[in-house]
Amino acid sequence: MRIAISLLNRGRGSGVVARQHASGLIDRGHSVWFVHPENVGSLYGAHNVDVLLPGSEMPVHEFLPSAGERGRPVSEMPVAEAERYINAYAAALETIDDIDVYISHHGNLSSVAVQQVAQERGAPYVVFVHGTGIEPRLHGGYLDAVWERIADAVGSAEGIIVTTDYVRDELLLPLVAVDPEKILVLPVGVDLETFQDDPSGTVQTRFELPEQYVICPGALTTLKGPQNVVGASRAYADLAPTVFIGDGYLRSALTRRLGDRGRFLGFVTNAEKAELINAATILTAAPEKLEHFGIIYVEALAAGSVPVAYRGGGVDSIVTPEVGVLTERTPDALGESVRDLLVAEDRRREMALFGRKRAEEAYAEGPLTDRLERWLADIAAEGSAI
């Protein structure tokens, strides 16, 4: 198949899954065009297509530390501005010929452009609704005229992908008129070779960490909730420090609050992130809003680092009682649960073993990409028969 994959921007979590799918499809012999702004050789093996934006601002779904002041939330755009961006994405897509199926990540302006170009060319398209793109509408975001175009692009797609039942039932269906039969629930996969238990101690030596530590990955922004983990760390700091990876505007203030109970490592490479998760005893996070999926918890399962997280949202489908702990959404409850697991070594080791097994059975990249490939092939075949 000839497949065009379009993103609003380079993306964080959505960018990871888009690259994962694209690479898997390329490995299976398909031709993939990978489309997003500031794309300079973004994905090895793909035909990388840049989107020339109408200005210096980068369209975003929510605040991204990496975007800084350049980030422009689509949910705040007036109609004329949104139209300029739609035209820019459409212009990039129009440089590609003979596509069998288009994939748009997020329900956003890039999806409107994909709908426009796909329908002009008589080709099917699907939208991967991660949740972040449409969630602002639940809180009064988007002008009606802008939202109506996004909702039409999502609802008119030949297929829709979501990562969890939560995204389908609590975000997508309440906002967009969609035939549920068109929806594929496809979790994000994990590389089981990259993420696996590492008892060697080399990571601890390199980063000057003790044998036992708790890791908290994620941007240091209020919504991501690192302040909650800092608060929780008071309950278990005598047993293990908390290591934060990621950066953001809260770093200075949180460094003072954390004191000697842990460390902030800032941005690390993807390889270092995997190594740090693999060697961690427990992985925790406490975002302010409900998460749509939570790839870090899947990575923790594969790595044998037991996840302890706030209850609610898509996380509930990942962190089940035999593999981790979900708590009330308070720092005190989180901290006590982490402490309980640090003390209960046998229970923790059993959870780690079950977690790895669950990752192998439910979240392995290969089988999930196989499911996606078959689903896309059916949609492309139906499209060519019209």
Domain annotation covers residue 96: yes
In whole angstroms, give the CA distance from residue 59 to residue 71: 6
Domain annotation covers residue 195: no
Among 59-68, 91-100, 225-234, 356-365, the least confident range = 59-68
Same domain, 233 and 299: yes
* Digit-coded pLDDT (tens) for 240-286: 999 999 999 999 999 999 999 999 999 999 899 999 999 999 999 99
How far is it between the farthest Cα atoms of the chain? Answer: 66
> At CB < 8 A and 24+ separation, what contacts does 348-355 make?
348/281, 348/282, 348/306, 351/306, 351/322, 351/323, 351/324, 352/197, 352/304, 352/305, 352/306, 353/304, 354/322, 354/323, 355/300, 355/301, 355/302, 355/304, 355/306, 355/307, 355/323, 355/324
pLDDT of residue 382: 86
The tally of domains found in the chain comes to 2
pLDDT of residue 124: 97
Same domain, 85 and 59: yes
Domain range for 142 is: 2-189+364-385
Show the DSSP H helices in 3-55 as ranges.
13-27
**In the block, which residue shows the tokens 């000057």?**
208
Same domain, 241 and 343: yes
Same domain, 226 and 177: no
Of 372, 363, 364, the residue nearest 318 (C-alpha):
363
Report the pLDDT averaged over residues 167-185: 94
* Digit-coded pLDDT (tens) for 21-71: 999 999 999 999 999 999 988 799 999 999 999 988 999 886 555 445 678
Same domain, 45 and 143: yes
The structure tokens listed for 202 are: 């080399």
Domain annotation covers residue 31: yes
Domain annotation covers residue 196: no
In whole angstroms, give the CA distance from residue 319 to residue 322: 8
The structure tokens listed for 302 are: 């594969």
Same domain, 332 and 372: no
Same domain, 147 and 216: no
Q: What is the CA radius of gyration of the chain?
A: 21
User: What does DSSP say about strands 242-245 and 262-264: parallel, antiparallel, or unpaired?
Assistant: parallel
In whole angstroms, give the CA distance from residue 180 to residue 32: 27
Domain annotation covers residue 104: yes
Write the CB contacts of 112 (distance below 8 Å, at least 6 apart in sequence). Answer: 86, 89, 149, 150, 152, 153
Strands of the 159-162 sheet, one edge to the other = 47-51, 31-37, 2-6, 101-105, 125-128, 159-162, 183-185
Domain annotation covers residue 322: yes
Same domain, 117 and 236: no
* Digit-coded pLDDT (tens) for 203-221: 999 999 999 999 999 999 9
% of the chain at pLDDT higher than 90: 85
**pLDDT exceeds 60 at position 98:** yes
Domain annotation covers residue 128: yes
Same domain, 120 and 170: yes
Domain annotation covers residue 194: no
**pLDDT exceeds 80 at position 11:** no
Same domain, 178 and 284: no
pTM above 0.85, yes or no: yes
Same domain, 44 and 78: yes
Extended strands (E) in the chain: 2-6, 31-37, 47-51, 58-60, 71-73, 101-105, 125-128, 159-162, 183-185, 214-217, 242-245, 262-264, 282-285, 306-310, 325-327
pLDDT of residue 154: 96
Following DSSP, what letter does each residue of 104-170 receive, concatenated?
Answer: EESSSHHHHHHHHHHHHTT--EEEE--STTTGGGGGT-S-HHHHHHHHHHHHTSSEEEESSHHIIII
CATH number for position 327: 3.40.50.2000
Count CA atoms closer than 13 A to 267's CA, side-chain side: 5
Same domain, 118 and 131: yes
